[in-house]
Amino acid sequence: MSDDQRGLRGLRAGHWLLIGLVVALVAAGITVVVTRGGGDPTVAEPTSSPSASVSVPPRPDCAPDITGTYADASRARFGFVYRSRCDQVVRELRFRVTVRDASGNEAATVEQTASGGVLFPGAELATAGELRADTNMKIGSVTVAVVNYSVFPPEDFSAWARTEVTGLTRGKPDSYGQFDVTGEVEARPPSAPVCVAEFVLIMRDRNDKIVFAAADPVLGGGVLRPEFPVSKVPALDFARTKIYAPQTPRTEQPPRAGMACNGS
């Protein structure tokens, strides 16, 4: 066999090897573009996949105001209240909670995040959760940042109920000073489905400072009657106590006019 024949056979073998490599990469969902002139292959995204639609950035003025915060390492709890400040419905809320000790050092052992409910124009809601920090740490400050939210026109939620917890009562303390706080859920209109995700208890002192916060998840559309066991809270002004009932949709369908929170 001549040198030319050997070179041709080697070229053919390399040619088929390259084709095989390209076929394997395409099968794996990778588009390979081979440049001329000995250039290196350029790997790009698959051209056959549909591109995701670009969402419109939410209005900056619709990020809710954080009106009050709370954290207690000894109780391993945090909480905060947030209020609407625009004429649109805000949902898919996500918050980042930063708790610092008296020296300004971050107290939490892991990043603290929390979700919010569907926030109607002019409404106020609250969130509470477990604080992952040294229980002996003295809390110096709490900062809550809004890291995600979406904005929708109010007419898309025309069939949603507006909820409020009324008739709050404080039970008689037991021998350990623990008492129960209960209330009743009111829905407007009463015939509309209610999709309460959890109840959030916020208790304040006479200076309106939050001195206790707790959350009670509503599992599987259970009984809509909040009941919180509360240990002794110093400087409590019960008249300022409030239970919030944030709602979240129970359907994967996007909101639209006439559709209730459960998709009906």
Same domain, 81 and 189: yes
Same domain, 91 and 25: no
Same domain, 38 and 106: no
- Provide the terminal-to-terminal Cα distance of the chain, rounded to the nearest Å: 79
CA distance 244 to 127: 9
CA distance 103 to 123: 35
Same domain, 15 and 66: no
Q: Which residues contact 258 (CB under 8 A, 6 or more apart)?
A: 158, 159
pLDDT at residue 106, as a whole number = 82
Q: Is residue 252 part of a domain?
A: no
Same domain, 78 and 112: yes
Same domain, 218 and 113: yes
Same domain, 14 and 122: no
Number of domains within the chain? 2
Q: Which residues of the chain have pLDDT under 70?
A: 1-57, 108-110, 220-223
Domain with 168 in it: 60-244
Q: Is residue 27 part of a domain?
A: yes
pLDDT at residue 57, as a whole number = 65
CA distance 71 to 111: 14
Q: Is residue 249 part of a domain?
A: no
pLDDT at residue 1, as a whole number = 54
Q: Is residue 197 part of a domain?
A: yes
Q: Is residue 72 part of a domain?
A: yes
Same domain, 97 and 227: yes
